[in-house]
């Protein structure tokens, strides 16, 4: 006797088609004009399928960004902390730079006036990345690349803060050399005197 298919169970190829459609439409038309209808049409699925898996367009975009960030912006460990942070932050900056940025900046803007989405953004997208950052920093501490009593909460603020200050005030993302300078200064700041 075979088990009947569970209609709530996600089909991976539909899931990927939906997320890719959402990102592509967002890049073309902007987050504000994105609709579930358009995503459904573009991905070749029904609106009902999308609503079965996600409560809102914000939730679709959140998951699309999460997939993209998992793929592109993981922490690496070559044994050189400054260089590894440069690699990871360069990927984050890439995601925040046109034409790749419309999904994430749209999500950030929407979350600024939608408490549930803000909560999802923090808990589902950001907290796991803060954990991964701190894991990389603890490896650096264990191997002597970073002072064992460096404050990792301050490190998070000093290393990632500049990018988002520049984002919200449209001051331009740091280039590779500026990023190197920022990381060097931030790491100096968190080494206890």
Residue ranges that bind a copy of itself, judged by CB under 8 A: 30-32, 105-106, 108-113, 118-119, 121-122, 126, 151, 154, 156-158, 160-171, 174, 181-182, 185-190, 193
Which residues fall within 8 angstroms of residue 166, CB to CB, at 6 or more apart? 172, 173, 174
Cβ 39 to a copy of itself shortest distance, Å: 18
Q: 22 and 50 in contact (C-beta within 8 Å)?
A: no
Q: Which residue, 9 or 115, is less far from a copy of itself as judged by CB?
A: 115
Cβ 88 to a copy of itself shortest distance, Å: 15
Q: Which residue, 3 or 169, is less far from a copy of itself as judged by CB?
A: 169
Q: 47 and 86 in contact (C-beta within 8 Å)?
A: no
Two tokens, residue 26: 């967002």
Q: Which residue, 43 or 85, is less far from a copy of itself as judged by CB?
A: 85
Cβ 114 to a copy of itself shortest distance, Å: 10
Which residues fall within 8 angstroms of residue 138, CB to CB, at 6 or more apart? 152
Cβ 95 to a copy of itself shortest distance, Å: 13
Check residue 83 and report its DSSP letter: H
Q: Which residue, 98 or 144, is less far from a copy of itself as judged by CB?
A: 98
Q: Which residue, 61 or 111, is less far from a copy of itself as judged by CB?
A: 111
Cβ 42 to a copy of itself shortest distance, Å: 20
Q: How far apart are CA 178 and CA 182, in angstroms?
A: 6
Check residue 6 and report its DSSP letter: P
Cα 104–Cα 110–Cα 111 angle in degrees, nearest 5:
90
């Amino acid at each position: 006797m075979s088990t009947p298919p569970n209609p709530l169970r996600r089909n991976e190829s539909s899931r990927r088609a939906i997320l890719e459609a959402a990102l592509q439409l967002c890049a073309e038309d902007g987050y504000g004009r994105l609709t579930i209808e358009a995503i459904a049409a573009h991905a070749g699925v029904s609106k009902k399928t999308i609503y079965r898996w996600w409560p809102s367009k914000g939730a679709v975009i959140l998951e699309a960004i999460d997939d993209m960030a998992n793929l592109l912006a993981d922490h690496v460990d070559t044994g050189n902390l400054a260089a590894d942070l440069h690699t990871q932050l360069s990927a984050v900056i890439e995601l925040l730079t046109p034409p790749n940025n419309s999904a994430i900046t749209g999500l950030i803007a929407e979350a600024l006036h939608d408490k549930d989405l803000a909560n999802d953004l923090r808990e589902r997208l950001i907290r796991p990345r803060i954990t991964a950052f701190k894991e990389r920093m603890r490896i650096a501490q264990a191997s002597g690349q970073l002072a064992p009593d460096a404050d990792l909460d301050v490190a998070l603020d000093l290393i990632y803060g500049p990018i988002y200050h520049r984002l919200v005030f449209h001051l331009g993302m740091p280039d590779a050399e500026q990023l190197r300078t920022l990381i060097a200064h931030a790491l100096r700041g968190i080494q206890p005197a």
